[in-house]
A and B are shown apart, each in its own frame.
Chain A
Amino acid sequence: MNDIPKIKEILTDLCSLPGVSGHETPVAEEIKTIWSKLCDEISVSRLGNVYALKKGINAPEDAHRKVLFATHMDAVGMIVTELTGEFVRFEEIGGLDPRILPGQFVTIHTKTGPVKGLIVMPTKSLTKETYGSNPIPLKDLLIDTGYEAEDLQKIVRPGDVISYANDPVSMQDDTFSGHTLDNRASVAAVAVCLQELQTIQHKWDVIAAATVLEEESMAGGKTAPVDIRPDIAVAIDVTFATGPGSKEWNTRPLGSGPALGFGMNIHPKLYELFKGICEELRIPYTTEFSPRMTGTDGRELQVALNGIPTIVISIPLRYMHTANELISMKDVRDVGHLLAEFVHRLDENTMDSLVWED
């Protein structure tokens, strides 16, 4: 497929940019650039969500139906809490396992520009509690920037946001590794969908939303439906791929295609619809059982306005929230393709089919 390098390039750009929750502007600008070439209108909400509108055809203005594809663009990260001599102390934004942090490169976003840093562990006798060979909790980890104390104090301030700094890497057999593939992989998948929609006739309006703050308050997912007033909402996110350290029932192989959500946040008819398209087109898929609330924008979209039929579709990903997450590009393309085929099938009868059969 000739779009392989293109989507990989897009994803490389997306994963090279910071966009820690609440500070999404750098990546938002890039998403606007990427999506604007593939849609009719681009706008930004009051909280910072990016919306790309791809208009449907052949429908009178008042009958326009709308589907919302919500992909959060924010990333987990850190924030400076204090300076101590040549070192920086920090707190997390989103959920971080402190055990993966020592030895990790980060970028501190200061008023004078980015400063590279390395997360390090204090040696014995430097901490209040004694940890022995146990992990050092986040509060005792430090960042070393290589600057001497006097210079550091001039540059870095408490409140400066910190992001992972490693570059994304192409791996074996169309796999791809980097930080923030949660959830930039989904932003790329929506780009695949919008690309396909350039040559597919569709009746409904499609609004792709890159939402803010999912990792913290889900504020972007909560407010997007108020801006958009969608008839159907699809949250596109990542889910756990089977791999070293995670082999539980709720994981699925890398490369196994879209994971279709199933559970209380998902309208069962939407699940059936997506499953039917996968089977018809022989797109591999798995079902992701969610016996509890999904940890995605989907749970906010469902209860927005007067209630919206919602589904969550996920890309399998290993090592979530570490600086070296891992996906298969094939899954990104399959999710994009599935979304486009879904849009292709939306018509004036779709809403009537989304009923509860008692």
Chain B
Amino acid sequence: MMKNDKQLSLPVLTQTDIDLLAELSHACSVSGDEREVRKIVRREIQPIADSFEVDALGNAIAVRKAKTAEFTRVLISAHMDEIGFMLVNEEDPGIFRFKSVGGIDPRQMAGKAVWVGPDHVPGVIGACPIHLTTPEDRKKTIKESDLRIDIGAENKAVKPGMFAYYATKFSEMGSSVCGKALDNRFGVCILIRLFKECPDNVELIAAFTVQEEVGIRGASVVAWDRKPDLAIVIDSTPAMDLPRWDGEESFIYKSKLGEGPAIYTHDGRTLSDPRIINYLIDTAEAYGIPFQRRQPMPGGTDAGAIHLTQEGIPTVSMSVPGRYAHSAAAIARKSDWEAQIQLLYAALANLDKTLLAQPR
């Protein structure tokens, strides 16, 4: 148990959070062009930030200074970018060849509606009518190179080089939220909330990073520049907690919906700092906040770059579990989202220099 757990009133999820997540989900920011999300971030936190900068890559870094004499400098990073498509050639008027950006299973493409370019022009990734296919055809995945984005007819303002996105309207479904790019608009949304309600005892360096989906490129330069005492990466991790065909329990799920935020001990790029892992777990237990350990498996977050920066930065990742990342829509539980805000808040509020004074 923690030694000094304070009496805290933990933040709760509000309609404001849900509305902001919806707006962030509808924003279109493929890796390399994160403008739409950055604009929302700027609007939300620049007015209350002690400093707000956009660096050479497009990372947005906001700082909120501590109000205590003793404080810890904490970098919290959330990537702004999402997977999507780039138009690469107009083959017929209004019909474009495209390439995916950031890793999309081609089985998630055919027949989906998209928004194209900064004006979000509606389009579809058309699929051949079933009547013109054979049963053999239907056993083969339609390759990305055989699919096209179709906007119906020519529009001179739509050109190769523009990005396209799944045209998914955000919604609340049952106990869940559903939308595109929840990987990682959850992180962005949570970091905005934390920035607004940051405990006094930390200097919060909020990094809204670029190009995570294409090789974790934004976060490393932020960490290099700011040299924090420790870093927490917030993201959305895949939950593969779907049923098996025979009803038996599946033991490979990475994370599960409804069991709280997933704390990373080990992923494809990072062995998290055990001091911070244990600190988060102790905090969760002290305040009765649900959490789960993410199953150690491939995949990675901004932590993969941050922990190797400068002389090394003690780092951990914590994610809201989300099903179906990198497809048209993800589904995640509101309760996990709220618990992640609470755990981060409680962890920051109790943080002091003693944590990293311990041996790793």
Instruction: Show the binding face of A for B, using Cβ within 8 Å.
Output: 84-87, 95-105, 116-118, 120-123, 125-128, 133-136, 140, 142, 144-148, 151-152, 166-167, 169-177, 240, 243-246, 248, 254, 295, 318-324, 326, 328
Question: Given known contacts A135-B107, A145-B173, A246-B129, is B178 in contact with A118 (CB within 8 Å)?
Answer: yes
User: Closest approach, in angstroms, between the C-beta of B138 and any C-beta of chain A?
Assistant: 6
Question: Does A146 contact B94, Cβ atoms closer than 8 Å?
Answer: no
Out of B138, B146, B153, name the residue touching A97 (CB < 8 Å): B138
Q: Tell whether, in the assembled complex, residue A99 and residue B141 are in contact, meaning their CB atoms are under 8 Å apart.
A: yes
Interface segment, B19-27, B245-253, B339-347?
Answer: B245-253
Q: In the complex, are the beta carbons of A245 and B128 less than 8 A apart?
A: yes
- B328 beta carbon closer than 8 Å to chain A: yes
Let me know if B243 and A172 touch, CB within 8 A. no
* Contact call A148/B174, Cβ cutoff below 8 A: yes
The 8 nearest A-B residue pairs measured at CB: A146-B173, A175-B152, A100-B111, A171-B152, A146-B176, A147-B174, A245-B128, A173-B153
- Set of chain B residues within 8 Å of A105, measured between Cβ atoms: 168, 329
Contact of A120 with B323 at beta-carbon distance under 8 Å, contacts A97-B138, A148-B258 already known = yes
Closest A residue, CB atoms, query B324: A120
C-alpha gap A145/B105 in the complex (Å): 22
Q: Is the CB of A324 within 8 A of B124?
A: yes
Taking a contact as CB atoms under 8 Å apart, the answer to whether A116 and B173 are in contact is yes
Q: How far is the CA of A139 from the CA of B124 in the complex (A)?
A: 26
* Sample of 25 A–B contacts (CB below 8 Å): A86-B243, A97-B128, A97-B138, A99-B142, A102-B327, A105-B329, A118-B178, A123-B242, A135-B140, A146-B176, A151-B174, A152-B174, A171-B153, A172-B94, A172-B121, A177-B124, A240-B129, A243-B95, A245-B148, A254-B152, A318-B126, A319-B111, A319-B128, A320-B129, A326-B150
Shortest Cβ distance from A142 into B: residue: B242
Nearest-CB residue, chain A, relative to B94: A172
A167, closest chain B residue (CB) = B169
Nearest CB in chain B: distance from A324 CB, A: 4
Asked if B132 is at the interface (CB within 8 A of a chain A CB), the reply is yes
CB distance B113 to A121 under 8 Å?
no
Docked Cα-Cα span, A97 to B135, in Å, equals 9
In the complex, residue of chain A having the shortest beta-carbon distance to the beta carbon of B121: A172
Of B166, B175, B177, most buried by chain A (CB within 10 Å of CB) is: B175
Q: Which residues on B sit within 8 Å (CB–CB) of A240?
A: 129, 131-132
Given contacts A173-B153, A173-B154, A318-B126, contact A244 B148 (CB under 8 A): yes
- CB contact between B242 and one of A122, A174, A248 (< 8 Å): that residue: A122
B interface, CB within 8 angstroms of A: 94-95, 105, 107-108, 110-113, 121-133, 138-142, 146-148, 150-155, 166-169, 171-178, 240, 242-247, 250, 252, 257-258, 323-324, 327-329, 331
A318 close to B138 (CB less than 8 A): no
Q: Are A320 and B107 in contact, CB atoms less than 8 angstroms apart?
A: no
* A134 close to B141 (CB less than 8 A): yes
Contact A319 B151 (CB under 8 A): no
Contact with A96, one of B130, B257, B331 (Cβ below 8 angstroms)? B130
CA distance A16 to B5 in the complex (A): 54
Complex CA–CA separation, A273 to B308 (angstroms) = 78
A190 CB, min distance to chain B CBs, angstroms = 23
Residues of B contacting A245 with CB < 8 Å?
126-128, 132, 142, 146-148
Query: B152's contact among A167, A173, A248, by CB below 8 Å, is which?
Result: A173
Instruction: List residues of chain A with CB within 8 A of the CB of B324.
Output: 103, 118, 120, 144
Q: Are B166 and A103 in contact (CB under 8 A)?
A: yes
Cβ of A169: which chain B residues have Cβ within 8 Å of it? 113, 122, 167
A133 touches B141 (CB 8 A): yes
Q: Please tell me if the beta carbons of B152 and A319 are within 8 angstroms of each other in the complex.
A: no
| B252 to A: closest C-beta gap in Å | 6
Q: Which of A128, A145, A152, A321 contacts B129 (CB 8 A)?
A: A321
Among the listed A85, A118, A148, A170, which residue makes an inter-chain contact with B243, where contact means beta carbons less than 8 Å apart?
A85
A140 and B153 within 8 A (CB)? no
Q: How far, in whole Å, are A21 and B166 apart by their CA atoms in the complex?
A: 29
Interface centre among B105, B122, B150 (most CB of A within 10 A): B150
Give chain A nearest CB distance to B165 CB in angstroms. 13
Q: Among B128, B141, B328, point to the contact of A103 (Cβ < 8 A).
A: B328
Q: Within the assembled complex, what's the spacing in Å between the Cα atoms of A296 and B290?
A: 57
B138, A99: Cβ atoms under 8 Å?
yes
Residue with the highest number of chain A CB atoms closer than 10 Å, among B105, B110, B167, B323: B110
A98, B133: Cα distance in complex, Å: 12
Q: Are B126 and A319 in contact (CB under 8 A)?
A: yes
On whether the beta carbons of A322 and B131 are closer than 8 Å, the reply is no
Whether B243 pairs with A320 at a CB distance below 8 angstroms is: no
Give the CA-CA distance A288 to B175 in the complex, in Å.
50
A40–B96 CA distance with the chains assembled, in angstroms? 47
- Closest approach, in angstroms, between the C-beta of B70 and any C-beta of chain A? 44
A126 / chain B contacts, CB cutoff of 8 Å = 242-245, 250
Interface centre among B124, B133, B148 (most CB of A within 10 A): B124
CB distance from B104 to the nearest CB of A (A): 10
Task: Give bound CA distance, A136 to B106, whole Å.
Answer: 12
Query: Would you call B173 and A95 a contact (CB within 8 A)?
Result: no
B131 surroundings in chain A (CB, below 8 A): 95, 240, 295, 320-321
